[in-house]
Amino acid sequence: MKEKAEGWEIHITEMDLFTGLDLNVMGEIADNACEEASYPGGTLIFNEGDTATALFILVHGTVELKIGGEKTVYRLNGQSDIFGWSSLVENGTYTATAVAASDIQAIKIDARKMNRVFNGHPAFGLTVYRRLSAVFNKRLSSIYHRFLSV
């Protein structure tokens, strides 16, 4: 189990959401909340409106986020792209449908377990939430500008 946790720790410490943060806390998240997730292309990962239980960090592949049916509103194809952020909001539901547009590998982080770690390390949790807010802001701005250009 420790070898797996160290592997996750290496991956997640390289991601913008977690860079520069306490390695001991990262180890707690890796040990308690992370697992590998692989989905073949075309696989539904979660539906808009479902109870949000996990945050995903894309390692490889492409994910499409769709709102209200079939229209793709955001396409993730960068390593370390985050989706499923709604899982970190109390009583959250996914705000979009996520579909693997190609075979993907991701790190799936159980939101309840990660929040337990944050409860023990509130400053760490606050930093992660601030960074997550920046990701959300960037996506909303991108969608807003695309909408205005139509």
Q: Is the pTM of this model over 0.85?
A: no
pLDDT digits (tens, 9 = 90+) for 110-137: 999 999 999 999 998 888 888 887 777 7
Domain holding 139, by residue range, is 37-112+119-145
Is the pLDDT score of 42 beyond 60?
Answer: yes
Backbone angles phi, psi at 121, to 5 degrees: -140, 70
**7, part of any domain:** no
Q: Total structural domains in the chain?
A: 1
**41, part of any domain:** yes
**12, part of any domain:** no
Where does the pLDDT of residue 62 fall: very low under 50, low under 70, confident under 90, or very high at 90 and above? very high
Name the residue with tokens 């500008």. 145
Where does the pLDDT of residue 9 fall: very low under 50, low under 70, confident under 90, or very high at 90 and above? low
pLDDT digits (tens, 9 = 90+) for 13-31: 667 777 778 888 888 888 8
User: What CATH number is associated with residue 71?
Assistant: 2.60.120.10
**73, part of any domain:** yes
Tokens representing residue 124 in the block: 């760490």
**3, part of any domain:** no
Instruction: Single out the residue of 47, 45, 46 nearest to residue 100, CA to CA.
Output: 45
